[in-house]
């Protein structure tokens, strides 16, 4: 019997998840069906339960539902707890289990696919919202020399750093505090690129950096990546690798088999020009 999975979001027509999971299923010879569901803004919980009750095995969760799906889960695994959000659910009888693979997907893409080690490096993350929150624990697990979170609202970055200080040291600051600082890896976890805007980061943070990573994907050379390129950063990447890698982690969680990711990342990559 074919097992059913889905991604839920609003809007959802743009989602690459059905293509990604269909490719994974074909690779690994898994008998499953994966669809996209546009969840009602005022009825997410009922829609998720209806899918589960109709035999659904699991769901990916995307904007704007990651927090609400987390709240409705009966069981929250550590990464979801620390992120305060979920991007994947598993249905087991009457249980709804939540995990979060965004951060590990990002770290896997940086280290496995791009070949940039994080251990002992100085890492700067721009933004202190949900995307940054989901990535912190996997980044800190790699033992960077320094991990700095910069945000327009400094208080938000400070609160995030205080919450995650136990797994590893984090420095919180505003963009103005970055003047004179240098980093090996710079990650843009703000939503600025979705509006074709540039976070107010000084170009000097890129001096000597080996990688500039844009979490948004499919946008080409965003203002953030263009600034990094002009500063001489040799390696630029957008979030398509993170997208595929987090999907692979969910697939392993659901199916117990790991798909190959690199050919799919190459297929989905939009040239950065």
Q: Which residues contact 88 (CB under 8 A, 6 or more apart)?
A: 58, 59, 60, 61, 98, 99, 100, 101, 249, 250, 253
Is 66 considered catalytic here?
yes
Q: Compute the distance between CA of residue 209 and CA of residue 149 in angstroms, rounded to an integer.
A: 16
Catalytic residue, from 66, 90, 219, 266: name it. 66
CB 36 within 8 A of CB 17: yes
Terminal Cα-to-Cα distance of the chain (whole angstroms) = 45
- Within 13 Å and on the Cβ side, how many CA atoms surround 151? 21
Q: What six digits make up the tokens of 22? A: 């269909």
- Residue 173 bridge partners (DSSP): 150
The set of catalytic residues is 66
């Amino acid at each position: 019997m074919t097992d059913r999975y889905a991604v839920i979001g609003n809007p959802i027509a743009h989602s690459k998840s059905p293509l990604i999971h269909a490719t994974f299923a074909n690779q690994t010879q898994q008998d499953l069906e994966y669809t996209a569901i546009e969840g009602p803004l005022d009825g997410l919980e009922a829609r998720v339960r209806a899918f589960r009750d109709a035999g659904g095995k699991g769901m990916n969760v995307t904007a704007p539902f990651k927090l609400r799906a987390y709240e409705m889960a009966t069981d929250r695994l550590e990464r979801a707890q620390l992120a305060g959000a979920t991007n994947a659910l598993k249905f087991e009888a009457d249980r709804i289990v939540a995990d979060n693979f965004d951060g590990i997907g990002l770290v896997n893409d940086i280290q496995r696919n791009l070949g940039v080690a994080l251990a002992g490096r100085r890492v700067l993350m721009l933004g202190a919202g949900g995307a940054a929150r989901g990535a912190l624990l996997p980044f800190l697990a790699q033992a960077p020399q320094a991990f700095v979170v910069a945000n327009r609202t400094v208080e938000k970055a400070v609160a995030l750093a205080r919450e995650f200080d136990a797994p590893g040291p984090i420095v919180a600051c505003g963009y103005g505090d970055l003047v004179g600082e240098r980093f090996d890896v710079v990650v843009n976890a703000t939503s600025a690129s979705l509006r074709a805007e540039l976070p107010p980061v000084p170009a000097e943070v890129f001096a000597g950096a080996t990688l500039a990573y844009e979490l948004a994907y499919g946008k080409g050379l965003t203002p953030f990546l263009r600034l990094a390129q002009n500063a001489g950063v040799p390696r630029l990447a957008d979030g398509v690798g993170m997208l595929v890698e987090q999907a692979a982690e969910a697939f392993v969680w659901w199916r117990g088999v790991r798909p190959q990711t690199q050919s799919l990342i190459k297929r989905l990559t939009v040239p950065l020009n």
